[in-house]
Amino acid sequence: MGPYQFAGGTAVVTGAASGIGEALAVQLAARGSSLVLVDRDEDRLAGVADRLRSAHPALTVVTHVADLSDDAQTAALATTLAGEHPETTLLVNNAGVALGGRFDQVTLEEFDWVMAVNFRSVVRLTHALLPVLKAHPGSHVVNVSSVFGIFAPAGQAAYSASKFAVRGFSESVRHELAENEIGVTVVHPGGIKTRIAESARTGSGVSVEEYEEGRKQFAKLLSMPPEKAAAQIMAAIEKRRPRLLIGWTAKVPNVLVRLLPGSYWKLIARRAAPAKPPVAA
């Protein structure tokens, strides 16, 4: 399979109103891709789209507002994307949410909210757009997992479950789609400066004091600009890389998990308080 061709293609990007999604939209447009941008924040999404239309008047930039935590909205969006954008050659499942709290501190409804956005929407949108992507050999899929899809810290049962699921789903689908000349990249970002930590929900059973302490600890790790992360993702897409680890906060845990699969958390816990907001997008 040759390099992915950005120019002349159309990219669907979820979570495009800020962070990595917005940075990817900017860099995709700069490489000549038309855009289909998805987010629940209508105002921010409109601002991103307007700036891109102004900077790249020759490209098509379309927006769709949807709350991916609502399965019905996600299903409707999936049908719309497949029907209205048959020219799609790249799908970037980037949208994500976070929930702070141990498993016994969150409700099942809160847990399901995370799974709906972080995993079920990835499955639904990928499934709906597969016929479109197959119609364009050389297409590509990017699913954004997390460093918490490599290791699972205390206080992140819901987030880790969703991101490990994205990882497994991506690897299996990659093997299936190889014969269709469609590439699949799963991305594991580390400490990226996005809005996911500040917009994370707190489990119903988590005290304010406990949550704020966790937030402060992880804020120290959020150092990489989303533009830099997006540039690495762009390179991975072009080169058809199957897996991308972004930043030392992803690469170091990856090594620890390989060396100490059953006891890595003892080492990590010494350097950080129990995890509340995630360090990754």
- Provide the whole-model pTM: 0.90
**Region of residue 154 (left: phi > 0; alpha: psi -120 to 50; beta: else):** beta
Average pLDDT over residues 113-118: 97
Which residues have CB under 8 Å from 145's CB, separation 6+?
A: 163, 164, 166, 167, 170, 186, 187, 188
The pLDDT tens digits of the residues spanning 50-101 come to: 999 999 999 999 999 999 999 999 999 999 999 999 999 999 999 999 888 8
Quote the radius of gyration of the chain (alpha carbons, Å). 18
Specify burial of residue 179 (Cβ count, 10 A radius: 0-12, 13-18, 19+): exposed
Q: Which domains does the chain have, with CATH numbers?
A: 10-269 (3.40.50.720)
What is the per-residue pLDDT across 124-180, written as a single tens digit (0 to 9) for each? Answer: 999 999 999 999 999 999 999 999 999 998 888 999 999 999 999 999 999 999 999
Q: What is the pLDDT of residue 275?
A: 47
Mean pLDDT of all residues in 175-196:
87
Give 2-5 contacts, CB < 8 A, sequence gap 24+: 2/138, 3/238, 3/239, 3/240, 4/90, 4/138, 4/140, 4/183, 4/237, 4/238, 4/240, 5/89, 5/138
Contact (Cβ atoms closer than 8 angstroms) between residue 233 and residue 244? yes
Average pLDDT over residues 210-229: 71
Q: Is 205 in contact with 264 (CB distance < 8 Å)?
A: no
Whether 159 sits among the annotated catalytic residues: the reply is yes
Contacts of 98 (CB under 8 A, 6+ apart): 114, 159, 196, 197, 199, 200, 201, 277, 278
Specify which residues 184 forms β-bridges with.
Answer: 141
Rounded Cα distance between 93 and 7, Å, is 20
C-alpha of 168 from chain center? 14
- Alpha-carbon distance of 191 to 224, in angstroms, equals 6
3-state secondary structure of 263: coil
Q: Look at 54-63, 134-143, 193-202, 218-227 and tell me which has the smallest mean pLDDT.
A: 193-202
Cβ partners under 8 Å of residue 174, min gap 6: 183, 184, 186, 242
Q: Is the pLDDT of residue 221 over 90?
A: no
Among the listed residues 4, 159, 211, 264, the single catalytic one is: 159
